[in-house]
């Protein structure tokens, strides 16, 4: 029994080292362009704050909160979604189509789940960096926001979900146009319909329940509850875990078919 456990630990260590090796080149690329990346990813959320809060909703209250406090968690969720999805998906599409280096990664002595984790982690890191950079600015604007363990857990889950969704879509894409199409019909509508800028309580019941099938909806609910000091929305938390399991499983299935 001890021998089996030691073998599992050894394989896990090798897998983790392989995932880090896959991630390393993406980390180098991110480090080189980090200042420009931060400016580009934080500019859009700040524009949303200026337009929707100071331009339209300064005196509006949403679910008993000021509109500023309500919308900040939604924008954080949207920032994490966009940065994680594009960070993992776009990078993988470039590796497949432009550099054609992903096939070499498939030949590396590393398990497929570790290979996927290495490709997804760059999206997670980009999502965390972008979201936390915006959060720092949001705390300057509204310093009474609550940042705790549940907030960090929800943010990490959000980044993982959309990173694996990015990897999944990139494995299915055969061209840049395919990724643009996926972003246009899935990611962009989700950004505006996933409870980012408005409460689902104001929607008709049919539309409200339909939007619960969007992972960003549950990410916004969890981040909003945590940042406003409300009780944990266990249903949305479990839904996020479910979406993560679905995207990881789907990505692994597509990779196995691609590698067959």
Q: Is it the case that residue 12 has pLDDT exceeding 50?
A: no
- Domain of 192? 2-259
pLDDT band at 5 (very low <50, low <70, confident <90, very high): very low
pTM of the predicted model as reported, rounded to 2 decimal places: 0.88
Q: Give exposure, 122-131, as e/b (b: 16+ Cβ within 10 Å).
A: bbbbbbbbbb
Both tokens of residue 26?
């993406």
pLDDT in tens, 120-162: 999 999 999 999 999 998 898 888 888 999 999 999 999 999 9
- SS3 at position 100: coil
Burial of 43 (0-12, 13-18, 19+ CB in 10 A): exposed
The label of the residue with tokens 């480090």 reads 31
Q: What is the pLDDT of residue 57?
A: 59
Tens of pLDDT, residues 89-106: 988 888 887 767 676 677
Written as one string, the DSSP assignment of 140-154 is HH-TT----HHHHHH
Per-residue pLDDT of 204-251, as tens digits, reads 889 999 999 999 999 999 999 999 989 999 999 999 999 999 999 999
Q: Which residue carries 């309580």 as its tokens? A: 201
What are the start-end ranges of the H helices in the chain?
Answer: 2-32, 34-48, 67-93, 102-106, 112-141, 149-172, 176-182, 188-193, 205-211, 215-227, 234-259
pLDDT-based confidence at 22, cuts 50/70/90?
confident
The alpha carbons of the chain give a radius of gyration, in whole angstroms, of: 19
User: Total structural domains in the chain?
Assistant: 1
């Amino acid at each position: 029994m001890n021998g089996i456990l030691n073998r599992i630990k050894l394989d896990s260590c090798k897998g983790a080292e392989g995932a880090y090796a896959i991630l390393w080149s993406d980390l180098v690329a991110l480090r080189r362009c980090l200042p420009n990346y931060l400016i580009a990813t934080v500019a859009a959320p700040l524009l949303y704050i200026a337009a929707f809060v100071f331009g339209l909703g300064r005196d509006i209250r949403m679910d008993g909160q000021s509109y500023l406090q309500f919308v900040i968690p939604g924008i954080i969720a949207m920032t994490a979604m966009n940065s994680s999805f594009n960070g993992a998906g776009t990078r993988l599409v470039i590796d497949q189509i432009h550099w054609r280096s992903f096939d070499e990664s498939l030949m590396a002595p590393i398990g497929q789940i570790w290979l996927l984790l290495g490709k997804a982690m760059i999206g997670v890191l980009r999502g965390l960096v972008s979201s936390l950079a915006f959060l720092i600015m949001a705390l300057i604007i509204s310093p009474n926001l609550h940042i705790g363990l549940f907030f960090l857990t929800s943010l990490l889950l959000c980044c993982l979900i959309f990173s694996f969704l990015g990897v999944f879509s990139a494995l299915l894409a055969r061209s840049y146009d395919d990724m643009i199409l996926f972003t246009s019909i899935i990611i962009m509508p989700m950004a505006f319909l996933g409870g980012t800028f408005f409460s689902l309580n104001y929607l008709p019941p049919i539309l409200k329940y339909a939007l619960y099938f969007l992972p960003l909806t549950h990410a916004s609910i969890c981040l909003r509850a945590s940042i406003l000091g409300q009780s944990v929305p266990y249903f949305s938390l479990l839904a996020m875990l479910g979406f993560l399991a679905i995207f990881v499983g789907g990505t692994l299935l597509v990779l196995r078919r691609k590698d067959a």
